[in-house]
Amino acid sequence: MTLIRPRMMLAGGLMAVATAAAGIAAAGPASAASAPASAASRPVVLVNCAGAGQVRPAGYDIGCMPSSELVVGLKWTSWRSAAFGSGVLKVNDCTPTCAQGTYIKYPILVVLWRARPWPRHAGREYFSRLTWIFTAQRPGHTPAAQTFTLPASGQP
């Protein structure tokens, strides 16, 4: 028996929570209203492993090294104070070793959220949280959704 309905409900719930959190963050303190228009019009970025900010990237290395988990084929439906998209999580099975392993693909939904000031980048914000939600099979003993804290520097 597949659990499509519960997964879709979980995905919808997580997206609703992320959207609500983004709305609260977007409202922000009264001082945010006095920010220059140019800073407000800049999109929130996802900081990659090299420390560069990206908007709507096609892929992301969650481990920032030769990693055993990569997100690829990202297609974004929204990119504001929260970002929503879908893609594929590639997980190295490390059999017989990680260097000789095979990547197994799992379809996922992706939510980037909790925009925060990007240190040393005046007026810019970066996404500090990434949640992925498995939409079909997932690696054994892995929850249906996982949330990660993303560093502002790109390095864990």
Residues 89-137: pLDDT tens digits?
Answer: 999 998 999 889 999 999 999 999 999 999 999 999 999 999 999 999 9
13-66 pLDDT, tens digit per residue, is 555 444 444 444 444 443 334 444 444 579 999 999 999 999 999 999 988 877
Contact 96, 106 (CB under 8 A): no
Q: What's the distance, CA 6 to chain centroid?
A: 21
Which pLDDT belongs to residue 13? 52
Among residues 144, 130, 154, which one has the least CA distance to residue 71?
Answer: 130
- Beta strands 60-61 and 69-79 are antiparallel
pLDDT at position 146 over 90: yes
C-beta of residue 86 within 8 angstroms of C-beta of residue 107: yes
